[in-house]
Structure 1
């Protein structure tokens, strides 16, 4: 497979391409109507003052050179004019964009020349592999005027219309190979023979004429693995469901998969594409096949949600009952079965919805609701309430993971990559985005790394965050049993969060059957604030029983008859709040609390920290404690605490409510 990896873009009708050498004009074809093929225009320089921009060179990778006015120089993003020639090396690739949004992606060891004739732009490809795309829809303001593009090869021509589509052309020494990935194209050979090639067909163009054949799909093995929880599978014709083995199960046509709780991962052999069936989902694998750079999966999603992570560098087609999804490159989609159709969310990547003869575009950051034969209802996806900026080493503590929005500041079309490792070898999603954010499901424990790049490859932003369960201080406080001995010295206990457990001790008394402790507020000896008894000379008080302040206490040995063996001596105790906590301590709200219009938030923050709740600054008292009410956000409702400290990454604590 060529190292040339096309980027994602929506598509409806497709393009074709190829270059033409200095050869005799083609004779007009005998019906259909004649199509005259002009000789390849000479490569002549145009004075700078008279240059007319025909296209933009928007991406250059590896070795690529620009020839202009007889002089060569390294190719760089910028305008292309009549007579400009671009040549790529063994590791080179470029992308050319025209005014109406269509693109032509040129692979390694290729050469083309841009020209212009009375019908429009002429792109002459003398060798190499090109991928031509037309946007699936041209929404108002989304692109310039339509461009008539003619693609020439030494063996013939293809004129590309303004409708959406995609075609791949490989120009070799003896033939031009035209693979129609989407839409319909017209191929004209040098002998005048004209052929219309449709999606799924390959045209071989030689000097003597054009031949076409169906693009044959080879079966692809599908393996199902249990991602989280328990996944089950069932062979075609069987009534028995079986658990998916640890090493996975190979599926055949007609086999079923279901998930009661958790996820099931379906992997396609030899492809980076992955399908993920969510809790409560069930599907039947009807057929999965491949031809060249095209993957096709035919599935019957009977209920639930199916996540699609479609591979970069490949054309993907997912065929569902009454709906097909077509993508040209990387995309991340969520498909949900509804009572009368589907909803399709495109987190990243542009795709095409196909129903019968109708083709509709779904762009990155949009949701389509598909019902019956009606036109799909398309709207923007909402940003997840919990958002992370593009910053490094952020920490997120959560007990029930929910969607998080990864954000960046720059508007416009970008390419986003999210992975679970810093080397981006374990992708979570990648593809085109335009909304300044992408929603992802974070791991219960683990990390996310993301980077955002412009179309020309320059970086917009990058960030990282670690995720894990919220650290509980309750267990630590319960285990902390501050020992307070009987004696003349005052005991001082410093605490954070709530007052800790306290254990009062004395020397063992002969004949004592129990020991009784009484604790009083200093200056208020009329009534004890706490009384406890124990069988040993160690009497514990639960955490939180005593509040902040000064106390006096006594411990009295008691005999078997219930009479004191001696009088208790008064001892001094002081509990002092220490606001030097190293981390945020949240006492309220509790995880899973039933949410009302407002919920109480309470706790304590480190001295040098700033605290925000659901994006709003929170006022702290002199001891950095807080106790107030806020409005929860999102579905399910959430309260998100953000702790910022000088010179340290931001720390987020997420409480999810009912």
Structure 2
């Protein structure tokens, strides 16, 4: 519905009138092009962040390479062919700028004005947007273009794309609503699913979103770790992914075995799809057109990591759910009732039919069925959280994710890669809380760093991941104790070991009786065995720490004693000099309960915590305590600190409780 033009619209229309003389009939009194209104020295209107590729800043008549930092009235920003950037405003709104774009910043009595000369920009107001600092006001944003003015409010979530071409323009409303004023004074209001198209001086409200024709592009699958398999369309047999990688055809299936990972790369785009452990999907199609990439997949089970290309509109379409964004990192997981989407970096739009719902870094969306809005809630850090520092060691079996944490609030740029030079990125983008969750590799090293909006480094670190090393406890070791005059001493760690007594054969003996006594208590043996050969075994734990005497007596077939046994000496001594943490229980796969018992032994100089709770050690550095499991699936995270050594984390994953 058209309403009476407001006074500030009329004043801005004077600016618009001189921007494109061929696009409208000249007025009786020509108006000279006016510069973008200057906010005045020192007035900060927004902040430039998320720079990639070629980005330049024009300030005070000088054009220089742009860096993250404040934007003032009169500043202009332009991007090259592969460039992209984001402008962040105090109220939480963001504007994403694509390649080959130019805009300038200004302000008038109605609010902030962005004058877009060319390219595509995407304005987003996320749900729950709020000022980034006390006293900050909501932003009224007007986008001024050669063909008209678009006003985007900040009272409700919105997502608006503005495209400026040489002889045409288009404003698409993906979420929320906008007010548009053309150069001829025509005022329109466009809502979600509508677009304002301008061509040849004609303004039109388009009610059917424009469909971009996408040209098919190849998708290559490569093995990440463990085992991944491909099933070509029309076949029933799965085969291993080729070592050099291979191009998929529509209808081909890909799956990973437990502990395995694989990566799908779209040709001509930096968007990457990563299959986690135990994931299966079918590639339906992939295409590209203009600044849009799209991949259609049927995720049948497991989790799919997504890193969407920066500076482009990237779409991943699954049955009943579309994901659309630029530069966002997230994970989509199949559930019994629908999907779970975790946004790690950037922002993405959830599309279900006509419904469009924003999701930003640090949020989780739960979707059930095939329609309806998602339930959005804050994303919690993963149970295993690593802070700043290099060399942390993580031993696990099936850990799904890890959190990297740092000090400091506010938006920041995060990079996670598998190499120290950050040339093989795993996750990149903007975050709004002081942590980021990342899929944990079965093996390998992750490097991470965090930068402020102005480019200064806030934190960095690295961590290695591997399956838990074989236990060093001695319950699997059988110590041999020979007969003889010398005392045998057995040093053990964790718990008393199994013991095997050996002795010489007696020619007429049919069997042997071995008896073990505590020193000073020869009246009753603590252990006794009758065996037919010259070896007698006691299970682990049959003898505890202490001093013992033991004897072997040969017996006839009827059980008669053939000769007296000679006493031999044995001593079991606890030695707490273990070089690493030994976790005796619980084992991986143990069924979880409200509380489970955790036992083991730590090195002498170690400090230990379980699920963040400090655990006391006894005089021999053993521990035995009850612990509440955390996370899904339930787990216990053992963290060990030693002077001058990196942190060591051992994760025991339990079986969920059930009926």
Say whether the fold is shared (TM-score over 0.5): yes
**Superposition TM-score tier, normalisation by shorter sequence:** 0.7 to 0.9
Q: 1:618 to 1:292 in 2, by over 3 A?
A: same
Cα distance in 1 for partners of 2:45, 2:79 equals: 20
Contact preservation (8 Å) 1:233, 1:244: yes
After superposition, give the CA deviation of every residue in 1:365-410 in whole Å (9 maximum; x if it has no partner).
Answer: 2233445554333222343333333332222222342433333332
After superposition, give the CA deviation of every residue in 1:135-171 in whole Å (9 maximum; x if it has no partner).
Answer: 144635257434444445xxx445343152234658x
**Superposed counterparts of 1:223-622, under 5 Å:** 223=220, 231=229, 233=231, 235=233, 238=234, 240-247=235-242, 250-254=247-251, 266-276=264-274, 285-301=283-299, 306-336=304-334, 339=337, 342-370=339-367, 371=369, 373-473=371-471, 477-487=475-485, 489-506=486-503, 515-532=512-529, 537=534, 539-557=536-554, 566-622=563-619
After superposition, give the CA deviation of every residue in 1:8-64 in whole Å (9 maximum; x if it has no partner).
Answer: xxxxxxxxxxxx99978637736xx9999964435999974xx65444445778885
Contact preservation (8 Å) 1:35, 1:192: no
Cα distance in 1 for partners of 2:618, 2:450 equals: 40
Residue 201 of structure 2 is aligned to residue 217 of structure 1: no
Of residues 90, 105, 128 in structure 2, which corresponds to 1:139? 128
Of residues 630, 633, 637 in structure 2, which corresponds to 1:636? 633
Q: 1:114 to 1:301 in 2, by over 3 A?
A: closer
3-state SS of 2:399 partner: coil
Comparing 281-290 and 610-619, the one that deviates more: 281-290
Cα distance in 2 for partners of 1:81, 1:445 equals: 47
Q: 1:195 to 1:47 in 2, by over 3 A?
A: closer
Cα distance in 2 for partners of 1:139, 1:98 equals: 14
**Superposed counterparts of 1:107-256, under 5 Å:** 113-115=104-106, 131-137=120-126, 139-142=128-131, 144-151=137-144, 156-157=146-147, 159-162=149-152, 163-167=158-162, 175=166, 183=174, 215-223=212-220, 231=229, 233=231, 235=233, 238=234, 240-247=235-242, 250-254=247-251
3-state SS of 1:465 partner: strand
Contact preservation (8 Å) 1:515, 1:536: yes
Contact preservation (8 Å) 1:336, 1:343: yes
If asked which structure has higher relative contact order (CA below 8 Å, sep 6+), I would say: 1
Q: TM-score, normalised by structure 2?
A: 0.77
Aligned Cα root-mean-square deviation (Å)? 4.8
Contact preservation (8 Å) 1:330, 1:349: yes
Contact preservation (8 Å) 1:420, 1:449: yes
Comparing 590-599 and 140-149, the one that deviates more: 140-149
Comparing 251-260 and 456-465, the one that deviates more: 251-260
Deviation at 1:299, TM superposition (A): 3.7
Structure 2 stretches of 5 or more lacking a match? 1-14, 153-157
Q: 1:159 to 1:493 in 2, by over 3 A?
A: same
Q: 1:36 to 1:641 in 2, by over 3 A?
A: farther
Cα distance in 1 for partners of 2:603, 2:636 equals: 19
Q: 1:335 to 1:620 in 2, by over 3 A?
A: closer
3-state SS of 1:652 partner: strand
Corresponding residue for residue 6 of structure 1: none
Structure 1 stretches of 5 or more lacking a match? 1-19
Residue 67 of structure 2 is aligned to residue 67 of structure 1: no
Corresponding residue for residue 9 of structure 1: none
Comparing 141-150 and 113-122, the one that deviates more: 113-122
3-state SS of 2:551 partner: strand
Comparing 406-415 and 567-576, the one that deviates more: 406-415
Contact preservation (8 Å) 2:395, 2:649: yes
Deviation at 1:185, TM superposition (A): 10
Cα distance in 1 for partners of 2:102, 2:545 equals: 80
Cα distance in 1 for partners of 2:220, 2:81 equals: 35
Cα distance in 2 for partners of 1:186, 1:45 equals: 24
Cα distance in 2 for partners of 1:122, 1:582 equals: 64
Give aligned pairs, total.
618
3-state SS of 2:476 partner: helix
Cα distance in 2 for partners of 1:105, 1:357 equals: 25
Comparing 535-544 and 359-368, the one that deviates more: 535-544
